[in-house]
A and B are shown apart, each in its own frame.
Chain A
Amino acid sequence: MSVDLSQFIPSFLEESFEGLELMESSLLNLEQGDDETINSIFRAAHSIKGGAGTFGFEHVTEFTHLVETLLDEMRDGRREIQPNDVELLLVSVDCMRMMIEAIRDEGDYEQSKIDDTYKLLEIALNQNNDTSTPTESPDDSKDKQSSNATWIIEFIPEHHLVQTGNDPILLFNALADLGEVTANANCKELPAITDIDPEELYLSWELTLKSSWATEQDIKEVFEWVEDECQLIIRQDSKLAQDGEVKQEVEQQREEVSTVATSFEENKTPSIDVNEADKEPASAKSSKAKSEGGSIRVGVDKVDSLINLVGELVITQSMLSELGNDFNISKLERLTSGLEQLLQNTKELQESVMRIRMLPISFAFNRFPRLIHDLSKKTGKDIELVLKGEQTELDKTVMEQISDPLVHLVRNAVDHGIEPSDVRVANGKPKKGTIILDAYHQGGSIVIEIRDDGGGINREAVYRKAVEKGIIDESTTLSDSQVFELIFEPGFSTAKEISDISGRGVGMDVVKRNIQALGGRIQVESEPNVGSTFRVNLPLTLAILDGQLVRVGNETYIIPLITIVESLQVKPELINRVSGDMVLYRLREDNVPVIPIFKLFSLSAEHESVENSLLVVVEAEGLKVGLMVDDLLAQQQVVIKSLKDNYHDVDGISGATILGDGSVAMILDVPGIIQMAIGRKMQIGVRQMMSSIEGVEA
């Protein structure tokens, strides 16, 4: 029977990534004598190794085996947990991730880094235990040729072997397929009958296998699934003499390894830096790959509640169809209540389905402990990371896209926010800096805060820089928050030196753009010597939005509720016409530019002059504008459908939705509309200029 294993590869990859994440976060929290944590790291490594072996990813298996051996020594208490080892394990996790990513993307990986780490691992293992033979050597090929040989296998299982679902009998049967087997049981460890735990295994065996073709590899394969739960010694009767030779070879290898290792130590820092620099495009690529396919792991409770709801829906449906069989007016009341129930069911069903896409934000937060660990090492700053609200749920797509901007913000907090320890002490602050990542729900959106207790944003420096870069005019007076907004301008960076952590001057504007692309916004607050807070506001999901339906002429449009500041009836005395074509509306202190949607979309409207129409005041990118509409209709949740699937993107429209009557309505893209209006003004300006030039010429 052959099974197509390739269909399981995606789930292997997914599990491996989860395992790696677990290993990473556990390693960062690892303390001496913390058995439970080591065990969980070990288990993760072990299942990656097992999986990789099953699918024939030899390089992963081989590498992970070393990691596992090292962990095993720690687990058994044969090895002290030292910072160096933890660091090495973290680098190994990176290597494993690199290899597994390469499998996923069918791409290449840096073989040299793997080799270097591999050798470091071997050294670490040899240092600890000089007498132990260095793990199965990568090429077993020399064992492959064999004559009619006799193998002696000592199989000493741990007592709990049978509890993990393994049965020695089955192993022996499998062994018997290789040749003639004799088994001798050793009952030395058998306790007195009163002390016997019937679920434990007290026996060990010495097996003799006579086979003309079996190799050591074949025998190992038989024991593959139990090799961590037993002591296994395999030796060939006739070949005992060779042991000495092997040992010598090992000595030689060890020498080679140590020379390589020293050269690797020297290269270590730069090679990691290259990796950091490359990280961003790589992760962008991976998130793209993810959004195309991918799967979601959903809690059983969520699925159960979905099934319950579907059950209720079916009941309501059958009730309604029965009602419809012979309907008369006396049953109207039952029909209404039935329809109400249907409404309730659909609503709940919708919510449950949406919940399936929701994941706790810890998925995005998990990478930060490692990031802070690495960054604080690199910058020499002592930093503590506090994660709050990790259980706050967020749509999977939003989560994938917010991850990179968050990384950037955290890097910024480390690099620009937290001061070096001596400065902190001089300013009367604790030596250790704190960065807090906090997520919570607020209304229909999720808020993620990145707070640091650093020096705060230097208002003066930002202002000067902005003037220098020509972003603002020297004469402009700005409020604090307006100054802080400047850091999101393209090409703005106040870092005195460009470091590899941040400060390339591309970043904050990209962060802002990414967040806006998700329909969110970012604010910054800062106080000198107290710290800064970046607050990211995101919609919970990209699939549904709360919208205000408006009518323009014969068309219905939807304005996202999150952008609306207020809606008002125009008072003619508050209208000002300035600089030619522009209409401003006085809204308390502000002058709000009016954008006539009908003009922008080349439609005809009922109210084509500002005086009689309604204004919906919306805000985007820090700008307030009034959208001119004919009528305000209902407010409702709408499901966002892409126009791009069958058509292409349209300026000023972010998508479409299907209304209750089955018709399609367009959803307005408020930032896009503002851009369009600005562009249009410019076009008109250019046209006027052109015509004036022509006039002069004539």
Chain B
Amino acid sequence: MDIQTLAAEIPDADQTVIEEIDFISNGKQFLMFNLGKELYAVDILCVEEIRSWEEPTKIPNAPSYVKGVINIRGLIVPIIDFRLKFDVCAAEYIDSTVVMVLTIETDEATKTMGFVVDAVSDVIDVQDDDIRADAGFVGSIPQENVQGLVNVNERVVTLLNVPALQHVDV
């Protein structure tokens, strides 16, 4: 198939119907994922890609939650298991296990890291006002990694603070 036929199949810009995309004025979109029975979410703009689990190359003497490194288009990317790191639930590696590749941008550096999660579920719109502080919330996840909590239907979702994940590998 040559490029002309491909191009012909692409609809013109003004013909494209914009639907199913919610424009939100005062908030962000978050990608929701499961760790065991709990729900978490990260800022969708930080998500580079989602890959299926593959056995990474081990890093000698690394902590148990650092599963190793993989090659993503020439980048050496460490894989960290959220479930083990945050001590949320047992870590199984099955067909539905996925790796969420995040770009973590801070003033110091930009890092790309992969995080093992049980499943990626949904994209949610979160207004800034809906985020509740996690006052009094003491779980196994360090406070600086939590941005806040948000209610989605009957469930409570923990929003993770992506820049704070920068030093999650130590």
Please list the residues of chain A having a beta carbon within 8 angstroms of any beta carbon in chain B: 555, 600-603, 641-643, 645-648, 650-653, 656, 658, 662-666
Contact = CB atoms under 8 A, between A and B. Distances in A.
26 contacts: A555-B57, A555-B58, A601-B60, A602-B60, A603-B58, A603-B60, A645-B75, A645-B76, A646-B76, A646-B77, A646-B112, A646-B113, A647-B76, A648-B169, A652-B61, A653-B59, A653-B60, A658-B71, A662-B71, A663-B57, A664-B56, A664-B57, A664-B68, A664-B69, A664-B70, A666-B57
A656 B169 contact: no
Contacts of A602: 60-61
B85 interface: no
B146 to A, nearest CB: 23
B61 A601 contact: yes
A549 to B, nearest CB: 13
B59 A650 contact: yes
B139 interface: no
Nearest to B109: A645
Given A600-B60, A643-B76, A652-B60, A663 B71 contact: yes
Contacts of A641: 74-76
Contact of B76 (A600, A601, A651, A656): A656
Contact of A646 (B58, B61, B62, B111): B111
Given A641-B76, A646-B76, A664 B71 contact: yes
Contacts of B77: 646
> Interface range on chain B: under 10, 10 to 19, 20 to 34, or 35 or more?
20 to 34
A641 B76 CA distance: 7
A651 B71 CA distance: 20
A647 to B, nearest CB: 4
A648 B113 contact: no
B59 A666 contact: yes
**By DSSP majority rule, is chain B's interface helix, strand, loop, or mixed?**
strand
Contact of B74 (A646, A648, A653, A658): A658
Contacts of B76: 641-643, 645-647, 656, 658, 664
Interface string B68-112: 111100111110000000000000000000000000000000011
B170 interface: yes
Nearest to A598: B60
Given A642-B76, A645-B75, A647-B69, 8 more contacts: A602-B60, A645-B111, A647-B66, A647-B76, A650-B62, A651-B60, A652-B60, A664-B57
A451 to B, nearest CB: 42
B2 to A, nearest CB: 11
B73 to A, nearest CB: 10
Contacts, number: 65
A656 B75 CA distance: 10
Interface string B40-70: 0000000000000000111111100010111
Contacts of B56: 664
Nearest to B66: A647
Contacts of B170: 648
A653 B62 CA distance: 12
A648 B69 CA distance: 12
A366 B113 CA distance: 44
A650 B76 CA distance: 14
Contacts of A665: 57
Contacts of B68: 664
Contacts of B111: 645-646
Contacts of B71: 658, 662-664
A656 B60 contact: no
A651 B61 contact: yes
Nearest to B61: A602
B55 to A, nearest CB: 9
B61 A647 contact: no
Contacts of A647: 59, 66, 69, 76, 78, 113, 169
A600 B75 CA distance: 26
A656 B112 CA distance: 16
A-B interface, 10 closest residue pairs, ranked by CB to CB distance from nearest? A601-B60, A664-B57, A647-B78, A646-B111, A658-B71, A656-B76, A641-B76, A664-B71, A664-B69, A646-B112
A652 B77 CA distance: 19
Contacts of A600: 60
A646 B76 CA distance: 7
B67 to A, nearest CB: 12
A349 to B, nearest CB: 15
Contacts of B62: 650
A122 B21 CA distance: 73
Contacts of A645: 75-76, 111
B61 A650 contact: yes
Nearest to B59: A650
A666 B59 CA distance: 8
Contacts of B58: 555, 603
Contacts of B70: 664
A664 B113 CA distance: 15
A605 B164 CA distance: 37
Interface string B112-124: 1100000000000
A643 to B, nearest CB: 6
Contacts of A651: 60-61
Contacts of A648: 169-170
A646 B57 contact: no
A658 B73 CA distance: 10
A496 B56 CA distance: 57
A642 B111 CA distance: 12
B69 A643 contact: yes
A637 to B, nearest CB: 16
Contacts of A656: 57, 69, 76
A444 B78 CA distance: 32
Nearest to A639: B74
Interface centre among A647, A653, A658 (most CB of B within 10 A): A647
B62 to A, nearest CB: 7
A664 B56 CA distance: 8
A664 B78 CA distance: 11
A650 B77 CA distance: 14
B87 to A, nearest CB: 21
Interface in B15-35: none
A666 B71 CA distance: 12
Nearest to A602: B61
B59 A646 contact: no
A651 B78 CA distance: 16
B138 to A, nearest CB: 28
A1 B60 CA distance: 60
